[in-house]
Amino acid sequence: MRHNAQPMNAEPNRRETWREALFNRRMLICVFTGFSSGLPLYVLINLIPAWLRSEGVELTAIGLFTLIQLPFTWKFLWSPLMDRYALPLMGRRRGWMLVTQLLLLASIALLGLLRPPGELWTIAGLATAVAFFSASQDIVLDAYRREILPDAELALGTSIHVNAYRVSSLVPGALALILADHLPWTSVFAITALFMLPGIAMTLVVREPPQSRSAPRTLREAVVEPFREFIARSGWRSALTVLAFIFLYKLGDSMATALATPFYLDMGFTKTEIGVIAKNAGLWASVIGGLLGGLWMVQIGINRGLWIFGAVQWASILGFAVLAAAGRPDRTLLAFVIAFEALGVGLGTAAFTAYIARATDPRYTATQFALFTSLAVVPRSIVNASTGWIVERLGWVDFYLLCAVLAAPGMALLLRVAPWFGDRKGGPP
C-alpha cells in the first residue's frame, strides 16, 4: 500500500520526533474531530436508552432502538455524494462538516421536546435522523482528518481522535444523567446538544485541505473510481486480502466484549461493582492505551504497531477466560481484566484505524474511508448476534477461548498486509 501524503515543510526521509508530532495544530484539530464525532453516538447508545427507561418504556422496545444505528453500517452508500459535491460555502469538507454539525445540534435538542412512551415512533424517527447526521459527519470528518495528516502523523492523530471520541462519552453517559436528577429532560438534551458547539467552532476556524479542492468531476467517477483505484492499486487478490484483514482483525475482541456486562453478572459481581470498576479501570486505561499507542507508532510505524498491539489485544481476550475459570467474584481480578482489555482495545484500535486511514487514496478519502470502516462494523455486528447462543452451549470459559481462536486469522493476515519491515519499504503491499 503506497503512502499518499507527505509532511509539509519537512526534510525528505526525516522521521518526526514524538514531540514534533504531538505538539502541533493538526493534533489539536484531531481532539475536536474526535469529540464532535463521538458525542452523537453516545447520545444514541447511552442517553436515549436511559431516558426511555426512566420514562417507563419496556426493555423490549428499548432493545429495538439499536436498529437506529444502521446508518453507521451503510454510510458508504452516500459517501460518494459528499466526495463529489461541495456546498456553496466553506469548501467541500468544511461545508459538509458545518451542515451536519448544525443538524446534530438541532436534532439532539429537539429530542427533549418529545414525550415517551406516547411519542415513541416520533422519537425513533428523530433518533434515526441523529444517527444519519452523525454517520454523515463521520464521513467528512474522517476524510478531513486523513487529508490534513501526513503519513508520519497518521497513527498519533488517529489515536488522539479515537481518545477524544471516547472521552465524549462522559457527556451523554455521565454528565447528562447527573443533570437528569435535577433538571427536566428538555433541559438535559438542550445542554447535551450545546456540546456540539466546540466542533462547530473548529469547523469555522480551520482551513480547507488543498487536496479536497480536486473533487471527482462526475458522480459516476465519485462512485466507481474509489473502488477501481483500490482494486487496481495492487491487484484484486491483494485488495481481497486487505478487506479480509479489516473484516477479521478485531473480530475476536469484539465478540469477547459483546456480552461483557452479562458475563460479569454471571460471575457474581454486583451492578455497583461493575459500574464503578468499569468506569474507572476501563475508560482511562483505554484512553491511555490509545495515546501511548499513537506516540509509540511515531517511532515504530503502523505495521509494527499492528503486530505488537494486536498481540496485547489477543492476550486480553484470555483475561476473560481466566476470570471465568476463577469461579468466584474477585474484584481485583475484575479490575485487572477490564483494565487490560481496555488497554488492548486502545492500542489495537489506534493501530487499526491508522492502518485504515493509510489504506485510503487522498483523492477518494470520504468513500474509501467510509467503505473500510463500514466493513469493520458489519461482520462484527452479525457475528455478535450469535454470541448468546454460543455461550449457552459452550459456557463462558470455552466461549472466550473460541474468541481467542477467532482472533488468530486477523493476526496471521498481518504477514501479507502489514509485514514487520513494511513501514521501511513504504507501507504494506
**275 pLDDT band (50/70/90 cuts)?**
low
Residue 328 burial (10 A CB sphere; 0-12, 13-18, 19+): exposed
- Give the per-residue pLDDT at 20: 58
Residues sharing a CB contact under 8 Å with residue 155, sequence separation 6 or more, in sequence order: 293, 294, 297, 298, 301, 302, 305, 350, 351, 354
| Burial 213-239, CB ≥16 within 10 A → b, else e | eeebeeeebbbebbeeebeeeeeeebb
Give 396-415 pLDDT, tens digit per residue. Answer: 899 999 999 999 999 999 99
What would the mean pLDDT of 115-138 be, rounded to a whole number? Answer: 93
The sign of the torsion formed by the CA atoms of 134, 72, 288, 347 equals negative
H helices of 171-283, where?
176-180, 185-194, 197-205, 219-234, 236-248, 251-258, 260-266, 271-277
Of these ranges, 84-93, 123-132, 219-228, the one predicted with the greatest mean pLDDT is 123-132
**What residues have CB less than 8 Å from 241, skipping those under 6 apart?**
413, 416, 417
Structural domains of the chain sorted by starting position, each given as residue range(s) with its CATH number in brackets: 18-215 (1.20.1250.20), 219-429 (1.20.1250.20)
Q: Which of 192, 330, 323, 345 is nearest to 254 (CA)?
A: 345
User: By C-alpha distance, which of 123, 103, 136, 146 is closest to 37?
Assistant: 136
Q: Give the pLDDT of residue 372.
A: 85
Summarised one tens digit per residue, pLDDT across range 308-349 is 988 988 998 999 999 989 877 888 888 888 888 878 877 887
Reported as a single tens digit per residue, the pLDDT across 59-106 is 667 767 767 778 888 888 898 888 888 888 888 899 999 999 999 999
Q: If we measure between CA atoms, which residue out of 64, 68, 14, 19 comes closest to residue 295?
A: 19
Write the pLDDT tens digit of every residue in 156-210. 888 888 888 888 888 887 788 888 888 999 999 999 999 999 999 999 999 988 7
How much is the pTM? 0.73
Report the distance separating Cα 126 and Cα 128, nearest Å.
5
